[in-house]
Amino acid sequence: LFLFFLVYPKKPKKERDYLIFINGPEELNEMDDPKAKEFFEPIEDEIYSLIQQNKDTYDDPSELDKIEKECEANRNNKTIYQYRYCSVHAFYLIKGKLIIYARLLTPEIVEKIKLIPNVTEVTIN
């Protein structure tokens, strides 16, 4: 008696986490600086809007909802830094160079993000 098991590789998810690099004025070094917020927050807003407007590009859009729910559950925890958005947040700024961490972007959204002014690179995390 021979048993054969066919193992099909699991289809990789097309949604991935990315790092987004943005160039701004070199004098911006602190994320709490009002000038840095004025420059970078509209870009962060635009990325978040692209995600929301393109949920139809996701294999499973409920994954985005899970991220939001997890984040909202932590909003009352004062030891955790409070990001403006759960799926997109800036986490490092030095000499006008900002890195944004974006969770679960689709290739279609990545291509649109690359067109945003001052975005210099979008790379898989």
User: What pLDDT is stored for residue 44 in this prediction?
Assistant: 95
CA distance between the termini of the chain: 47
User: What pLDDT is stored for residue 95 in this prediction?
Assistant: 94
User: What pLDDT is stored for residue 79 in this prediction?
Assistant: 53
User: What pLDDT is stored for residue 9 in this prediction?
Assistant: 54
User: What pLDDT is stored for residue 114 in this prediction?
Assistant: 98
Alpha-carbon distance 123 to 86, whole Å? 19
The token duo for 11 is 């289809």
User: What pLDDT is stored for residue 14 in this prediction?
Assistant: 81
Sheet holding 88-94, edge to edge: 88-94, 97-105, 16-23, 119-124
Please list the rounded mean pLDDT of every run of 10 residues in the chain (125 residues).
53 82 95 93 95 93 86 66 78 94 94 98 95
Beta carbons within 10 angstroms of residue 76's beta carbon: 8
User: What pLDDT is stored for residue 54 in this prediction?
Assistant: 95
What one-character DSSP code corresponds to residue 88?
E
